[in-house]
Amino acid sequence: MPSTANFLQYTQWCGIATIVFAVLTILAFLFKWGFRFRLVGTTGFMLVLTAGLFSLSLVPLSRTVIPGAVKYTLVYDNGSNQAVITTSPEITPTQLEATLRQAASNLYSPGRLGSGNNKQLTVRARTIIHPETGLSIPVYLGQVNRALTSREDTEMAVEVYLDKLASLPKPPAS
């Protein structure tokens, strides 16, 4: 994945190209070239592209990678202080803990607001089991609470519901 330094370099090159297109556009209007209005559109597009690349050079795009974490899918996020992820039913307790930590870190955003006195982001992990055909039951496997005030939260409270993990159906032996 490109870094912020890469995006800054792309912004510089795109800015130079934007200036070149702007000069060409001015020349096209001075000499009444037939494609002058196309150059106006191209110059406008280059301005938007340059602004977008510049904004990407300001904000890091990295995701946290925690060893042992497994793939998860975000299924609910109120944009404030609650989120729910889903995982595979074959997850182990150590994988679940690492996955919850990774999800809490990846879902942190300075734009999240706590409601009332709750200044904690709560990320819950669940899975879906199918005890019989046509019946799906969500099972909550654990949760993590992290502070909304700082990116680096060393005191994340991770809860793994071992009783719920133990009640999951075991995969068939192959």
pLDDT tens sequence across 142-171: 999 998 887 788 888 999 999 999 888 877
Residues 6+ apart with CB under 8 A from 23: none
pLDDT value for 50: 96
Measured at the CA of 80, the angle between CA 77 and CA 82, to 5 degrees, comes to 50
67 pLDDT above the threshold of 80: yes
Give me the mean pLDDT over the 18-36 stretch.
Answer: 96
SS3 48: helix
- Assign 11 a pLDDT band (cuts: 50, 70, 90): very high
Torsion on CA atoms 137, 142, 147, 152, rounded to nearest 10: -120
Give me the mean pLDDT over the 106-116 stretch.
Answer: 75
pLDDT value for 116: 60
Write out the E strands in the chain.
Answer: 73-77, 82-86, 120-132, 135-147, 157-160
pLDDT value for 124: 97
Give me the mean pLDDT over the 117-146 stretch.
Answer: 91
Give me the mean pLDDT over the 55-69 stretch.
Answer: 82
Percent of the chain exceeding pLDDT 70 equals 93
Output the CA–CA distances (angstroms, integers) from residue 153 to 74, 96, 116, 145, 170, in the order listed.
21, 18, 20, 10, 34
Q: How far apart are CA 155 and CA 145, in angstroms?
A: 9
- Assign 68 a pLDDT band (cuts: 50, 70, 90): very high
> Phi, psi (5° rounding) for residue 44?
-60, -45
pLDDT value for 99: 96
Give me the mean pLDDT over the 69-78 stretch.
Answer: 94
pTM of the shown model? 0.67
